[in-house]
Structure formats: C-alpha cells, structure tokens
Amino acid sequence: MSTFTPVSTLGEFGLIGRIRALIEGDAPPEDLIMGIGDDAAVYRVSDTMAHVVTTDALIEAVHFDRAFAPMSHLGWKAISVNASDVVAMNADPKWATVTLGIPRNMSVEMVDSLYEGMDRASKAYDMQIVGGDTTTAHALYISVTVVGEAPLSQLVFRRGAEVGDMVCVSGDVGGAYAGLKVLLDQRQALNDLGDAYEPELDGLRYVISRQLQPKARLDVVRALRKARVKPTAMIDISDGVGSEIHHIAAASQVGATIRVPALPFDAETRAVADQFMEDVDAWALFGGEDYELLFTVRPDDVPRVDAIGGISVVGTIEEATKGVRSYSPETGLIPLSSAGYQHSFGDGGAA
C-alpha cells in the first residue's frame, strides 16, 4: 500500500525544502547563481549582468475574498508582490507574464479592471506585461512571473549578513495584518447583518490599503544605491519580521536580535490593534504581507541609511550560537519564533 502524507504536515517551507532536495543536482549549471532558497532565482546573462526571476500566485478563497477585494486592487497586488521579490535581490523588475484562471461568474468588465490594476502597478515599477495565458478555473487564479535585471556586482542575497551588521526595516510593519483583521471583521458583519450592513471604515483606510494594495519598495533600493549603501543581506517582509530574520540568519549562518520597541508602526495600525485588544508587536513579527524590506548593513553605513529617512534600525546580527532572539524591556532577551504566515494548503479563507 502506498504511503499518503498530507502536505499540511510539512508546511510551506518544509515542502519547498523537500522539492529543492528532489530537483537540485550535484553540479548546478555554470550560469545559475541562485536557484531555490532566496526571494528569486538569479542567472548570469553576460559577464556583468544577471536576470532575476520570480513567480507567485493569488488564489480566491486562499489569498483573497472577492467580496472585499476590488479587481483593480487585486491586479495591483498580483504585480506588486512579485516585483517585491525582485527588488529584495537589489534588482529592477522589467517584464511580467500573467496566467489567469477565470471562473464562470467573472465578467469581461471584471477582467478589464483586473488588468487595469496590473498595468497601473507595472507602470509604477517601470515594468511591462509582455504575455501570459488564460484558462477556465473553478475560482479566480492569478499567477504572475516577473523578470528583473541587475549588474552582478549589485545583487544582494539572504546569505551575506555578518556579525556586527545592523538590521533595518523600511517603512512601517503590521499594517497589512491590521487591514486583514478589519476586512475579516467587516465580512463577518456583512454575513450577520445582510442588507442592513453598512461599512464602518472611518480611520481604517490606510491599513486596508496596506492589505489590498501593497507597494514593492523599489524606491528604497534606489535610494540606497544613490546613497552608495549596499545591504549585506536583504529579504522582503511577506511572512512577518520574525520569519524573515530567521531566513537571513539561516542563509548567513548567524544569529540575530530584534529590538521589539524599535519596530516601526503607523498610528492607524496601533489603533486597530487596540480596537481588537491584540498585541501590535505580534502583528509585525508574525502577521506578514507588509512587503517592506528587511535588510542588514555594516555599522559604518548606518548614518547614510538614517539620512535617507523612512528606515528604522531594529536589531543586530550576532554569533550563530546565540540564535535568533527578540528583546523588549518586559521580556528581556528571549528566543524569537520563526512562525509567520504560511499557506494552509486548502484550509484557507483569508480576505
């Protein structure tokens, strides 16, 4: 009798590791610089240049609910989350292809709106959609592949952090999870009240936009280049600060400490956390989908990072023997969980 092991027993990252072990050979092709194991794959196209390739999917009832996700917003998000992976390699996104699975209850006008959002995002990142595929599906399925480019000397990976480096975060964190909480709460109100439902969104529009229309931080890497700062390691915050710092620590074979009081929050995110009586720090560490950048720099680069603005120093890289830890005055130094957003392989229902 054949063995049946539910995919859910591995989790997303366990499954990725298993796939990596199955398909990677002993001797990778000479031009392959990075395969599975970073935000994007990288291969050499000349003596000085590389292409950076990533793909990601958004699936109805797993990643979004059409009742609260306008088609144009979905289009924007589908492009942005892929562009963010390319940006995290310190590369510039250039080209995109889109595979669209269309359910029977989707109209031509809805497809128009979806692609209008994609086109708007592509223009924001100086990209171009150049092709793709369409097919019938039981639920709306959007898969985007983005190809970017960068000089070989400019590329940044997860694996370059060194002891003594400072850990930085762009923008603010926790806002996307706050937006998700609001949308789920509004969906429940709609289910409970039916025709009597009236949206209550005053003071919530920023966090909702963080969930529905995240931005790839191409502006941040361009500002770092202008300031002549090359991060030693970098990753985008798709699964939460806690998960991402673990990825950098594992790839770089180092430890790290995150100073929780230094995590940057928008006032609206804090207000939503208070409304739900939940810990805003946990939203930043484990909520995910902020698509900000978490990166490390050498200590002597910190003044130039500070001069850019909108970037917070939130921790330090330490010896691997110390592990990955968090610090707050209330808890002191404690181990930091690697838990973050992971796909539930069929148990979803996110907004």
Global pTM? 0.91
First to last CA, the chain: 39
What's the token pair of residue 272?
A: 């939503």
Tell me the mean pLDDT in the region 24-47. 87
Residue from 141, 302, 338, 173 nearest 229 by CA: 302
Q: What is the pLDDT of residue 26?
A: 67
Helix (H, G, I), strand (E, B) or coil at 38: coil
Q: What is the pLDDT of residue 351?
A: 40
Helix (H, G, I), strand (E, B) or coil at 295: strand
Residue 25 has pLDDT above 80, yes or no: no
All structural domains of the chain, each given as residue ranges with its CATH number in brackets, are 7-154 (3.30.1330.10), 158-335 (3.90.650.10)
Residue 8 has pLDDT above 90, yes or no: no
d(CA 166, CA 257): 10
Q: What is the pLDDT of residue 22?
A: 82
d(CA 248, CA 228): 22
Tell me the mean pLDDT in the region 201-215. 92
In this structure, of 146-150, 194-198, 295-299, 309-313, the range with the lowest mean pLDDT score is 194-198
Give the pLDDT confidence of 60-79 residue by residue, as tens digits: 999 999 988 999 999 999 99
Q: How many CA atoms lie within 13 A of 55 on its CB side?
A: 10
Q: What is the pLDDT of residue 330?
A: 93
Residue type, 155: L
Residue from 222, 207, 183, 166 nearest 290 by CA: 207
Residue from 71, 96, 66, 64 nearest 176 by CA: 64
The pLDDT confidence band at residue 221, using thresholds 50, 70 and 90, is: very high
Give the pLDDT confidence of 157-192 residue by residue, as tens digits: 999 999 999 999 999 999 999 999 999 998 888 777
Q: How many CA atoms lie within 13 A of 322 on its CB side?
A: 17
Helix (H, G, I), strand (E, B) or coil at 141: strand
In DSSP terms, which residues pair with 308 in a beta bridge?
A: none
Residue 141 has pLDDT above 50, yes or no: yes
Residue 35 has pLDDT above 90, yes or no: no
Task: Give the angle 296-312-274 at the CA atoms, nearest 5°.
Answer: 125
Contacts (Cβ under 8 Å, ≥6 apart) of 312: 168, 169, 262, 263, 264
d(CA 63, CA 32): 31
What's the token pair of residue 23?
A: 């398909």
Q: How far is CA 344 from CA 13, 141, 180, 236, in A?
A: 11, 16, 16, 20
